């Protein structure tokens, strides 16, 4: 079943000036529920621009990005922020945890912003504590734990809203190769439970964990490879 459709999407920065940059050109693809897609390409290829548009943080110059029948380009700034909070989960290279909050409160934060009842928060965090193996660190602080552990907390924060789509931007970019494998294996486990994931990376080793890789260059998709569930584990 279709979750996301990008339809002839284009992005021109500084349009109608001599500095105009055509960052995305005629991008068309669909993502089904349960898919795990990596978007791979070199620096400057257009990956961040594409992710920002899917994330409703930026709007295309032309074409559409449609998630669950909602044309994301048509949302007002306010509605886009609400839409993000409700439907999207984010994982970043640098974790973006708040040092003033315990790990548990970092994970609860999106639910606090959504005014979710405490009993529901407690109910939702339990399975995440188990699946992400964070019981020993849950009541410590981000500054007190390793990078790999911080990324586990960040993944829990992204998943606790049960988002339609998890967006990950170089999620292993700050981690050593062993820790990266552990984090990528967690993504595979969540995907196997049905979580739809789109991950941006410049690394083919990282992309090899996904089911499908879109190769992007000069703002265009030039390969779309589906490899199914054969992720490379060590």
If one asks whether residue 13 binds ligand ADP (CB under 6 A), the answer comes out as yes
User: Per CB under 6 A, which region of 44-52, 126-134, 145-153, 174-182 contacts ligand ADP?
Assistant: 44-52
Q: Which of residues 52-71 bind ligand ADP (CB under 6 A)?
A: 55, 57
Indicate the length of the chain as a whole number. Answer: 234
Strands annotated E in 68-157: 70-71, 88-91
164 vs 231 by CB, closer to ligand ADP? 164
Separation of alpha carbons 144 and 99, rounded Å: 9
DSSP 161-175: T--SEEEEESTTTTS
Closest approach, Cβ 154 to ligand ADP, in A, equals 10
Q: Which two tokens stand for residue 208?
A: 């090899």
48 vs 191 by CB, closer to ligand ADP? 48
Q: Comparing C-alpha atoms, which of 47, 146, 163 is closest to residue 97?
A: 146
Cα separations (Å) of 146 from 134, 157, 168, 170? 12, 17, 19, 17
Q: Out of 38, 49, 195, 206, name the contact with ligand ADP by CB under 6 A.
A: 49
If one asks whether residue 160 binds ligand ADP (CB under 6 A), the answer comes out as no
44 vs 127 by CB, closer to ligand ADP? 44
Separation of alpha carbons 201 and 171, rounded Å: 8
98 vs 225 by CB, closer to ligand ADP? 98
If one asks whether residue 91 binds ligand ADP (CB under 6 A), the answer comes out as no
The binding site for ligand ADP (CB under 6 A) comprises 13-14, 21, 23, 41, 43-49, 55, 57, 81, 84-85, 90
């Amino acid at each position: 079943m279709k979750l996301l459709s990008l339809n002839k999407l284009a992005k021109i920065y500084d349009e109608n000036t001599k500095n105009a940059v055509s960052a995305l050109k005629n991008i068309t693809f669909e993502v089904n529920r349960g898919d795990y897609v990596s978007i791979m390409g070199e620096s400057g290829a257009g990956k961040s621009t594409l992710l920002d548009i899917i994330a409703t943080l930026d709007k295309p110059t032309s074409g559409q990005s449609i998630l669950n029948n909602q044309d994301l380009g048509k949302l007002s700034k306010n509605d886009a922020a609400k839409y993000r909070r409700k439907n999207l989960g984010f994982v970043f290279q640098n974790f973006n945890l708040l040092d003033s909050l315990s790990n548990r409160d970092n994970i609860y934060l999106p639910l606090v912003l959504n005014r979710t009842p405490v009993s529901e928060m407690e109910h939702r965090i339990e399975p995440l504590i188990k699946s992400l193996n964070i019981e020993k660190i849950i009541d410590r602080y981000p500054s007190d734990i390793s990078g790999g552990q911080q990324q586990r907390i960040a993944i829990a924060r992204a998943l606790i809203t049960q988002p339609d789509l998890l967006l990950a931007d170089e999620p292993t970019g700050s981690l050593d190769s062993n820790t990266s494998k552990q984090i990528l294996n967690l993504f595979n486990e969540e995907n196997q439970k049905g979580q739809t994931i789109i991950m941006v990376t410049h690394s083919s080793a990282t992309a090899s964990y996904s089911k499908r890789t879109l190769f992007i260059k000069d703002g265009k998709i030039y390969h779309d490879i589906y490899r199914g569930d054969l992720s490379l584990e060590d």
